[in-house]
């Protein structure tokens, strides 16, 4: 019974399955357009959902993203940008102010030569060439020739140049640094040792530096009113004359300055003329003396003073100012008194000025004496600093300036500039 009831349902399913192919065949013409339309849509959607290939992305970025290249120093600005779009800043080389084209070329030449010397100085002082380069670098920094002046760095270069004794001139640099105090206070004992090392190879400059060292030593006690001054130490002038006779440029300039202070213009011109070709300072002094002589600028002698009084006054000024001899205030006062006794009104005025400001102990005020050194007591109202001669004569910047090589010498300012 039950099997009879289930058989018709099974027969019905088989009959429907058998009809399925026929139905599909009949409906095929109507389904094909729909499938044809659906397939492209599915493909397009799939293409949009897929990420683009990596190479294509890189190409699009390289085209779409602009690149900015900084111009090389000194090149023209990028074309197409308005000139007034943004402010521009012109920065000069580090350590130098804004330079004109000619100044820029000069600075570039200085930098090249400085770098050449620094390279040549390596290894420091181990060869003659490296010692000479270190010596020149010391001179450059001592005088600030084209660089910022740096006495401490100059002394370090002099020490490197003298390390193995291959550049004797380095001892002159060290002697001057110890005399003047490139690093710390002056060291007279160290200066004497360096001068002794210099003397076998360069005796004339050694004698001049020895004279200069002696002129920087403390002076004897200054005399007080009513007290006879002590005798000054033996003069070191023979050292200066010996150096000048051997041809030392610095010594001849110093003797010329001394001759000017003593009123011997002809002798001063002779000393300056001997070294004018090698020394801009000597050439300047020679021109000034000749100009004064031509303009009749020489001061006439005091009408009421004798020749002996004028000579004593000249000696007093020489020791007071340290011109041609080491400054010695004791000797200056002695000669001022001698000139006053012989009738010099200028000496009388100077003594009055000297004792107008005594030190706390009642003696002569050393600092006041130093300020009075350039006072002209012959003026109606003597003043400090304003009575210095109109055309001050020149010395070399240092006792070593004449040893600068030509290129670096030209980087120094001209005398009187």
Under 8 Å between Cβ of 235 and 325: yes
Pick from 356, 96, 384, 412: which is nearest to 225 by CA?
356
23-27, 54-58, 321-325 — most confident range: 321-325
Looking at residue 391, its pLDDT comes to: 41
| CATH number assigned to the domain comprising residue 173 | 1.25.40
**CA–CA separation, 134 vs 114, rounded Å?**
11
Q: Is the pLDDT score of 289 beyond 90?
A: no
DSSP 346-378: HHHHHHHHHTTS--TTSS--HHHHHHHTT--TT
113 assigned to some structural domain: yes
286 assigned to some structural domain: no
211-215, 229-233, 246-250 — most confident range: 246-250
Res. 46 pLDDT band, cuts 50 70 90? very low
153 assigned to some structural domain: yes
The pair of structure tokens assigned to 383 is 């003043």
Q: Is the pLDDT score of 384 beyond 80?
A: no
The pair of structure tokens assigned to 128 is 């003659």
380 assigned to some structural domain: no
Higher pLDDT, 379 or 290: 290
Q: What mean pLDDT value characterizes the chain?
A: 74
- Min mean pLDDT across 73-77, 113-117, 120-124, 409-413 is at 73-77
Summarised one tens digit per residue, pLDDT across range 90-133 is: 333 334 444 566 678 889 999 999 999 999 998 877 899 999 99
Pick from 289, 299, 294, 290: which is nearest to 260 by CA?
289
Q: Packing angle between helix 329-341 and helix 345-354, nearest 10 degrees?
A: 140
DSSP 180-241: HTSSSS--HHHHHHHHHHHTTT-HHHHHHHHHHHHHTSPPPPPP-TTSPPPPPPPP-HHHHH
Q: Is the pLDDT score of 159 beyond 50?
A: yes
168 assigned to some structural domain: yes
Q: Specify the pTM.
A: 0.55
How many C-beta atoms lie closer than 10 Å to residue 137's C-beta? 24
Pick from 243, 109, 195: which is nearest to 254 by CA?
243
Contact partners, residue 414, CB within 8 Å, separation at least 6: 280, 284
- Min mean pLDDT across 47-61, 69-83, 90-104, 337-351 is at 69-83
Number of folded domains that form the chain: 1
171 assigned to some structural domain: yes
The pair of structure tokens assigned to 214 is 């002696």
Looking at residue 403, its pLDDT comes to: 96
188 assigned to some structural domain: yes
Q: Is 282 helix (H, G, I), strand (E, B) or coil?
A: helix
Res. 405 pLDDT band, cuts 50 70 90? very high
HEC string for 55-90: HHHHHHHHHHCCCCCCCCCCCCCCCCCCCCCCCCCC
Under 8 Å between Cβ of 256 and 365: no
Residue 144 — φ and ψ, nearest 5°?
Answer: 65, 40
Looking at residue 390, its pLDDT comes to: 31
- Min mean pLDDT across 142-146, 221-225, 343-347 is at 221-225
Q: What is the mean pLDDT of residues 257-275?
A: 88
Range of the domain at 112: 101-215
Looking at residue 385, its pLDDT comes to: 38
Contact partners, residue 75, CB within 8 Å, separation at least 6: none
Summarised one tens digit per residue, pLDDT across range 27-43 is: 555 555 444 444 444 44
Looking at residue 60, its pLDDT comes to: 42
Under 8 Å between Cβ of 145 and 113: no
- The percent of residues in the chain predicted with pLDDT above 90, rounded, is 39
Q: Is the pLDDT score of 66 beyond 60?
A: no
CB-neighbour burial class of residue 148 (10 A; exposed 0-12, middle 13-18, buried 19+) = exposed
CB crowding 320-347: b at 16 or more within 10 Å, else e: bbbbbbbbbbbbbbbbbbbbbebebbbb
349 assigned to some structural domain: no
Q: What is the mean pLDDT of residues 202-208?
A: 97
- The percent of residues in the chain predicted with pLDDT above 70, rounded, is 63
């Amino acid at each position: 019974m039950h099997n009879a009831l289930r058989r018709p349902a099974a027969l019905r399913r088989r009959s429907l399955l058998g009809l399925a192919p026929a139905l599909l065949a009949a409906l095929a013409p109507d389904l094909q357009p729909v499938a044809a339309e659906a397939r492209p849509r599915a493909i397009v959607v799939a293409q949009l959902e897929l990420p683009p290939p990596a190479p294509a992305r890189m190409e699009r970025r390289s085209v779409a993203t602009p690149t900015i290249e900084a111009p090389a120093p000194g090149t023209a600005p990028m074309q197409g940008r308005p000139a007034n779009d943004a402010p521009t800043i012109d920065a000069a080389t580090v350590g130098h102010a804004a330079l004109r084209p000619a100044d820029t070329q000069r600075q570039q030449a200085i930098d090249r030569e400085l770098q050449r010397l620094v390279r040549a100085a390596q290894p420091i002082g181990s060869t003659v060439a490296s010692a000479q380069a270190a010596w020149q670098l010391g001179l450059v920094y001592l005088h600030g020739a084209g660089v910022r002046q740096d006495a401490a760095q100059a002394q370090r270069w002099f020490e490197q140049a003298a390390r193995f004794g291959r550049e004797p001139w380095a001892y002159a640099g060290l002697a001057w640094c110890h005399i003047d105090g490139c690093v710390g206070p002056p060291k007279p004992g160290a200066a004497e040792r360096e001068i002794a090392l210099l003397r076998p190879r360069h005796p004339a400059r050694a004698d001049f530096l020895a004279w200069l060292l002696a002129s920087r030593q403390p002076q004897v006690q200054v005399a007080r009113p009513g007290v006879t001054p002590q005798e000054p130490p033996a003069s070191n002038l023979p050292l200066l004359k010996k150096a000048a006779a051997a041809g030392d440029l610095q010594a001849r300039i110093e003797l010329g300055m001394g001759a000017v202070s003593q009123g011997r213009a002809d002798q001063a011109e002779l000393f300056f003329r001997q070294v004018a070709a090698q020394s801009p300072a000597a050439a300047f002094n020679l021109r000034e003396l000749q100009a004064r002589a031509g303009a009749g600028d020489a001061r006439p002698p005091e009408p009421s003073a004798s020749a002996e009084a004028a000579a004593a006054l000249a000696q007093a000024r020489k020791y007071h100012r340290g011109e041609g001899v080491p400054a010695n205030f004791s000797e200056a006062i002695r000669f001022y008194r001698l000139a006053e006794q012989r009738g010099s009104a200028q000496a009388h005025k100077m003594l009055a000025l000297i004792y107008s400001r005594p030190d706390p102990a009642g003696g002569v005020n050393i600092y006041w004496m130093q300020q009075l050194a350039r006072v002209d007591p012959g003026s109606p109202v003597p003043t400090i600093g304003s009575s210095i001669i109109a055309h001050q004569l020149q010395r070399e910047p240092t006792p070593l300036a004449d040893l600068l090589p030509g290129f670096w010498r030209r980087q120094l300012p001209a005398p009187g500039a």
